[in-house]
Structure 1
């Protein structure tokens, strides 16, 4: 799912987009609990009237809506995110967002890839399922432990296509697990796209000094105050839940790798800080906004130099020589934020969307690190500066100038950005976040020197990282869809800033100038 048309990802109040549900249409919904907004209850309430919503939107016969997420503003405005099926088949890329007032009046519809209609005249394949499964196993490039497939409707860049979704599970040569979704045209057998459920990332060293962590019982590394977040020891394994850490006196680890608990402490502390950041800043109650915590697994594999989110949990390797566990604050923020992205916009891990996905985790990992205000691991705009994977003390990624990594990260968006690995196509959005927050020019923050220039030669001041974080969170949760591109991101941050701070505000101008400053394609939105 490599790209989406520039207007399709961020819907505008256009007659074409609202043809089936003109402004003023009322999509009735069940009332929310009197005690205030409750995410699970809101989803349940919207699902109860999903059929009525589909009818009001003028969706074709056979199309069924399933509510994935609800965002509600203080004034009662709702953004309801739906997935779709057609005649029982999952529609990949068929997600849409309906914005409506407290009275139920529709003011905006966001169709991913402009795909208002997703139905097909025939759902009979030419390619056999066995042939599709063989193609999926070959495309994976690793020995499969499981390989299954089913017919779906895949929303391509131009039209819906009958396809097989083949899900191939296994472990790559570098020990990273993979759950690869490959999409093959059910008539021609052509590979349409692929997307891996396992999202990888890296961060700082394990050391955060002496910290307070949430435990329970006598004593278990489980944080009952934060949805039951808990941390386990895989002891070098690469599967399973691991063994939950326990301790006799509630004093955990010793600050070095000689104690297996130390990596667990850092991972647990990072998940705690990330939970608190999303709760205190954005009002989000856990990764999936349902009050439920998640598991963190440490000591994965042998000298595994990475960390990943696999759809349900965070997992951390022990780094080079099993001596540098990747369990610091911003790693936890990065990995848990992949979960938040999955629960909201569900950005693909390919094309422009892959870069937006990966940069989102860098952005929120950075914001978690700054919000932690930890004296040992101070906030910065550098990713992985303490792991020393390069062997010379340099970080993996630089948000003020992504191209400094020497690996191919881009400072500026181009038409070729979508063809890069997500860790490199993330460069333009990381650059945007830094400039929107801090402005252009030279600056020293927490002892680190930064210097950035815009791609279009303009100079401007930033709006502050906390402001920009709120704007990007709103964009992620109310504007972007699975196949969104950089044009969608540009429209999204401008519209989000206008909603939060007003048209013509300094905050809106800062994010708009920074988007122009990375050469993001111009869209329809303006401050």
Structure 2
């Protein structure tokens, strides 16, 4: 929720303002990591006066998570919230400051003060852990709400529960957070983060941290590409020091880093284990390069650190997933271990989950979960367009190379999501109750309309025909502008609880920032949302 503050809510830290402007004006290419660290430090120093300006309670504090400074000195400070030292889940907020220090507005996941009658839980941590494990065990063998995931078949145990404040439903209360580990039927590791009421044991939230994009296919190859590697003695390592030391290892060998004697990797066939590693390493590099070139983002967390890959995971594992806890991508070899799921849009999709986790951290359920999935579809598609490979001609189809259905059809369609038989073309009340991979269709459709417009057309040899729910005709503004608006909204306006209505507001604010209120871009954002019934 966004609201204006009173005229008196001004932070007059002149020295900090001057420092922030100087940091923002510094050449990005000089030292981007150090520049970001300086901005983060300034935002941290502002945490206390910002909390005071927002009239938060005496036991509430803000902990800086990220900060963006525009060229004109405008600052967007992203904070997590604590209460009496406990993390507040669903308490994150973004403060938008003008260059003179005036707090212009704030976007909050929870709009209000936090006040709890007690910080003493009625249930013990041991009881909370047992209840969390039992809750997951009760789902063993049952198909999850996420239809792209398979059922949990094994529960290995749980982390020690930690006390938190739960504000995700707008009614703050003391709670326990517990991570239950296990495995799903298809071999995917499971790490379910459960939040339970510390007084009653009621399950308040559950979130699978291992986010997957299911696929089967005939194998993927990026063709002949250039790789940046590292020489160590007389051997070469599949490690890229120019992109944060991102690397690729073989899951069949304990995730051992790939090495080679002549710096020529793979032969283009699945029988050579290096071929899938080439795909993965190239996809990771293309994702890094896209975010760097388009948004000056220095890696997934914007801290200069590269992700890692592990290929050949499991036995005939028909999936791929991003895991924030290991900051890594994992790829299976597909049906009969001959179809590695290393498509470039899969890589871009999964690693964009990491970008979302590092920024808005959209909760992976309800409408925010659909926006989370759509964000990965959007940027996975944009990475594919950026790479522009002859072997994978860019399009607005999701997972078209992995041939998940065995008939050459893609996993999802952005121009008309309902063509997959499950995704939704437009918003309706209750869409937050369906699987996030299908509720994401609304945002995917919005993005296609914003980029290319409505109606029939052929792009790169692929035929599209995008409808509108209100019968309007949309003229697109181009995919680069559409992606810039979405990225700006994700990193500057979206919070963990953003729903479709708030996404409309956030993207309009982003369009206004980038192109001006009343611009063609701004008006097209509004029209494209209305075309998918988000009004």
Same fold (TM over 0.5): yes
**Structure 1: tracts of 5 or more residues without a match:** 1-7, 523-527
The whole-number CA distance in structure 1 between the counterparts of 2:201 and 2:158 is 21
The whole-number CA distance in structure 1 between the counterparts of 2:312 and 2:408 is 23
Q: Which moved more, 1:317-326 or 1:120-129?
A: 120-129
Partner of residue 198, structure 1: 210
SS across alignment from 1:482: coil
Shift of residue 436 of structure 1?
0.8
What pairs with 1:1-400 in structure 2 (closer than 5 Å)? Answer: 8=1, 11-13=2-4, 18=5, 22-26=8-12, 29=16, 31-32=19-20, 33=23, 35-36=26-27, 38-114=35-111, 116-140=112-136, 141=139, 142-202=154-214, 205-217=219-231, 218-235=235-252, 242-311=255-324, 312-400=327-415
Shift of residue 202 of structure 1?
4.7
Question: Is the Cα–Cα contact under 8 Å of residues 91 and 118 in structure 1 kept in the other structure?
Answer: no
Question: Is the Cα–Cα contact under 8 Å of residues 192 and 208 in structure 2 kept in the other structure?
Answer: yes
Shift of residue 304 of structure 1?
1.2
The whole-number CA distance in structure 2 between the counterparts of 1:117 and 1:36 is 39
**Structure 2: tracts of 5 or more residues without a match:** 29-34, 140-153
Q: Deviations over 1:317-345 (max 9, x none)?
A: 11111111111211111111111100000
Question: Is the Cα–Cα contact under 8 Å of residues 493 and 506 in structure 2 kept in the other structure?
Answer: yes
The whole-number CA distance in structure 2 between the counterparts of 1:26 and 1:336 is 39
Higher RCO (CA 8 Å, separation ≥ 6 residues): 1
TM-score by length of 1: 0.92
Partner of residue 467, structure 1: 481
SS across alignment from 1:219: strand
The whole-number CA distance in structure 1 between the counterparts of 2:226 and 2:415 is 32
Question: Is the Cα–Cα contact under 8 Å of residues 220 and 343 in structure 2 kept in the other structure?
Answer: yes
Aligned length: 501
Q: Deviations over 1:341-387 (max 9, x none)?
A: 00000111111111100110000000010111111101111111121
Q: 1:436 to 1:277 in 2, by over 3 A?
A: same
Shift of residue 265 of structure 1?
0.3
Question: Is the Cα–Cα contact under 8 Å of residues 460 and 510 in structure 1 kept in the other structure?
Answer: yes
Question: Is the Cα–Cα contact under 8 Å of residues 296 and 315 in structure 1 kept in the other structure?
Answer: yes
SS across alignment from 1:113: coil
Q: 1:335 to 1:388 in 2, by over 3 A?
A: same
The whole-number CA distance in structure 2 between the counterparts of 1:231 and 1:156 is 37
TM-score by length of 2: 0.90
The whole-number CA distance in structure 2 between the counterparts of 1:167 and 1:210 is 42
Shift of residue 505 of structure 1?
1.1
Shift of residue 134 of structure 1?
1.9
Shift of residue 147 of structure 1?
3.5
The whole-number CA distance in structure 2 between the counterparts of 1:58 and 1:374 is 52
Partner of residue 502, structure 1: 516
The whole-number CA distance in structure 2 between the counterparts of 1:130 and 1:145 is 12
SS across alignment from 1:434: helix
Shift of residue 113 of structure 1?
3.2
Question: Is the Cα–Cα contact under 8 Å of residues 27 and 53 in structure 1 kept in the other structure?
Answer: no
Shift of residue 22 of structure 1?
4.2
SS across alignment from 1:490: helix
Q: Deviations over 1:399-436 (max 9, x none)?
A: 11111112x21111122211112111111111111111
Shift of residue 36 of structure 1?
4.3
